Amino acid sequence: MDPLGARSQFVEVQSLYTWDQLQGVQDEVDGENLLREEEDNLTNHVNSLTSPFPFRQDLNSKIVLFNGDVAFLNCTAIVNTSNETLTDKNPVSDSIHRNAGPELRDELLKLKGCRTGEAKMTEGFNLAARFIVHTVGPKYKAKYRTAAESSLYSCYRNVMQFAKEHAMVSVGLCVVSTVKRAYPLEDATHIALRTVRRFLENHGENIETVVFAVSDVEEPVYRKLMPLYYPRSKKEERIGLPFLPADIGNSEGEPVVPERQIRIAEKPGNLEDDSGDDSLESDLGLVGNHAFARMEGDVDKQRKLILQGQISEAAQQKQHQRNYNRWLCRARAEDLSDIAALKALYQTGVDICGRTVMVIVGRNIPVTLIDMEKALLYFIHVMDHITVKEYVMVYFHTLTGEHNHLDTDFLKKLYDIVDAKFKKNLRAFYFVHPTFRSKVSTWFFSTFSVSGLKEKVHHIENLQQLFTCIHPEQIDIPPFVMEYDSRVNSPYYSAQSSGL
């Protein structure tokens, strides 16, 4: 022990590599980094995509990834993850209690517990840290995923709010919500990283250092995901863009659940409107989707009228909207990480008209091996916020097999379920590298199964043709698609070049 009584195992935050300094070290030792694996496969065509979490040198210099015990950090405050009675027995909490001394336990008894998602603060006692911020992570159940996400966000947000209010210079964050609470580590990491990022962007001008203290098990996940939220270059920002989850929260990083948002109309009692689309959209802002909330009468009677074809178009639209909302609620509540891992659907840049481009990779859809209902839910979950404005879709049919072909009945079901805005705002569907069979199937489907889609479908024989609609720097194309196109169409390009 030194003359001040600080133990030798305490770690000075200033001695740790910051996230931007760690880049060179990581390049040598972290062979499992997701971005590094993908980088060699990307082409020079992708060079100007922007992320909702852009490269910020000032933020990266505040972030530290530390593999070690948070209790040993010498910073203004550290975080303890506990339960509602603040008596949880887990490795993080045990170490903090052991090193802080018995006074901490006595102090916690005075706090009389802490609610899930909230935070309370005590002195650091024998720790090098001046304060300990105690927070309670949620118990995770897939059925209540949305509530768990909101609670975990609140944990990190409240911790950072303490840091701001008490003018803390440095904060050591443990991984909130322990294994005992069954929160999936990767999902929890996304929430932690984006919440801290957003807080530093909006309120962190006086916070100098935030340390993510992780274990051996947690470190690989943090190393993989941190470049998505804290890219250390424009290139890393661009490469990480396709791997961001569909839900990145609002401007504060908080999970957004549209069906919980309540809009108060100027005249809430006046439901009459002569405009068709506007009346439907305004109706969606009303509180509640149940027939009682909307004063629509007997639901069973309504359904019977629909079956008999005796219900008005407006009533059918409302019924369709209720059905879509049920699917959307399921999509937001269910664990769809296995479908997301396929990387079959992702957002990229914009087309020449400035419309959002969504990509579907046919070869990445193992139709015979996955739960197609979950695939439908994932599509709705990802696309719901995209379709509020005009967008285009690019479907790569390249090198697909029989096990990748979506059934016509599934496509019809999907088209029937999705919200009206999906159909209204879809401006073009680019079908890249079609086969003769796929052209015939698409013609039959768009002619006889659905209405209004046929004129939006464009068959694209090669990437050069696609680039007349979407600039190459605005679309992230799978490497195998680039290789196939180069191999199959290179004679065509050579002939074109020789003729010029």
Q: Is residue 83 part of a domain?
A: yes
| Residue 36 backbone zone (phi > 0: left; psi -120 to 50: alpha; other: beta) | alpha
Q: What is the DSSP letter of 472?
A: G
Residue 300: per-residue pLDDT: 59
Closest by CA position to 379, among listed 350, 402, 411, 351:
411
pLDDT, one tens digit per residue, over 74-131 is 999 999 999 999 999 999 999 999 999 999 999 999 998 999 999 999 999 999 999 9
pLDDT at 194 over 50: yes
pLDDT at position 143:
78
Output the DSSP codes for 35-47: HHHHHTT--TT--
Q: Are residues 426 and 483 in the same domain?
A: yes
Domain end, chosen from 266, 300, 333, is at 333
| Cα distance between residue 275 and residue 297, in whole Å | 23
Rounded Cα distance between 469 and 405, Å, is 25
Q: What CATH number corresponds to the domain at position 352?
A: 3.40.525.10
Is residue 270, in this structure, part of any structural domain at all?
A: no
Number of domains in the chain: 3
Contact criterion met (CB below 8 Å) for 367 and 342: no
Whether 394 and 310 map to the same domain: the answer is no
For 387, phi and psi rounded to 5 degrees?
Answer: -80, 5
Q: Do residue 363 and residue 445 come from a single domain?
A: yes
Q: Do 344 and 308 reside in the same domain of the chain?
A: no
- Tokens 């002569």 label which residue? 274
Residue showing tokens 């203004």 = 76
Instruction: Give me the pLDDT at residue 242, please.
Output: 82
81 close to 218: Cβ distance less than 8 angstroms: no
Q: Which of 214, 243, 272 is the last residue of a domain?
A: 243
Q: For residues 27 and 109, state if they share a domain.
A: yes
Domain annotation covers residue 255: no
Alpha carbon separation from 173 to 4, 63, 197, 317, 491 (Å, rounded): 25, 11, 13, 48, 57
In sequence order, what E strands does 226-377 have?
A: 345-350, 356-361
Per-residue model confidence (pLDDT) at position 267: 43
**26 vs 219: CA distance, rounded Å:** 12
249 located within any domain: no
Do 299 and 366 belong to one domain? no
Choose the weakest-confidence range: 268-277, 293-302, 361-370, 408-417: 268-277
Local confidence band at 307 (pLDDT 50, 70, 90 cut-offs): low
pLDDT interval class at 309 (50, 70, 90): low
- Confidence band, pLDDT 50/70/90 cuts, at residue 69: very high
5 within a domain of the structure (yes/no): no
Residues 347 and 329 in one domain: no
Question: What pLDDT was estimated at residue 105?
Answer: 94
Q: What does pTM read for this prediction?
A: 0.53
Same structural domain, 315 and 378: no
Structure-model confidence comparison of residues 398 and 409, the more confident one: 398
58 and 150 inside one domain: yes
Looking at the fold, whether 319 and 366 belong to one and the same domain comes out as no
Range of the domain at 313: 287-333
What is the distance between the alpha carbons of residues 97 and 94, in angstroms, rounded to a whole number? 5
**Concatenated DSSP letters of 180-233:** GGT--HHHHHHHHHHHHHHHHHHH-TT--EEEEEE-TTTHHHHHHHHHHHS-SS
299: helix, strand or coil: helix
Q: What are phi and psi of 390, to 5 degrees?
A: -60, 140
Average pLDDT over residues 2-7: 48
> Residue 167 belongs to a domain with what CATH number?
3.40.220.10
Contact present, 74 and 128 (Cβ < 8 Å): yes
Q: Please check whether residue 258 lies inside any domain of the structure.
A: no
Q: Are 221 and 31 in contact (CB under 8 A)?
A: no
- Residue 326's H or E segment, with its range, is helix 313-333
Specify if 2 maps to a domain: no
Q: pLDDT (tens digit, 9 = 90+) per residue, 213-230?
A: 999 999 999 999 999 999
Of 45-49, 137-141, 363-367, 418-422, give the lowest mean pLDDT range.
45-49
> In terms of domains, do 299 and 382 share one?
no
Residue 253 corresponds to which tokens in the numbers above?
A: 């990083």
Average pLDDT, the chain: 82
Q: How many CB atoms lie within 10 A of CB 475?
A: 22
Contact 65, 266 (CB under 8 A): no
447-455 long-range Cβ contacts below 8 angstroms, 24+ apart: 449/408, 449/411, 449/412, 449/415, 450/412, 450/415, 452/423, 453/415, 453/423, 453/429
Least confident of 19-33, 231-245, 255-269, 380-394: 255-269
Q: What percent of the chain has pLDDT over 70?
A: 78
Same domain, 328 and 349: no
Which residues share a beta bridge with 67? 214
Q: Is residue 267 part of a domain?
A: no
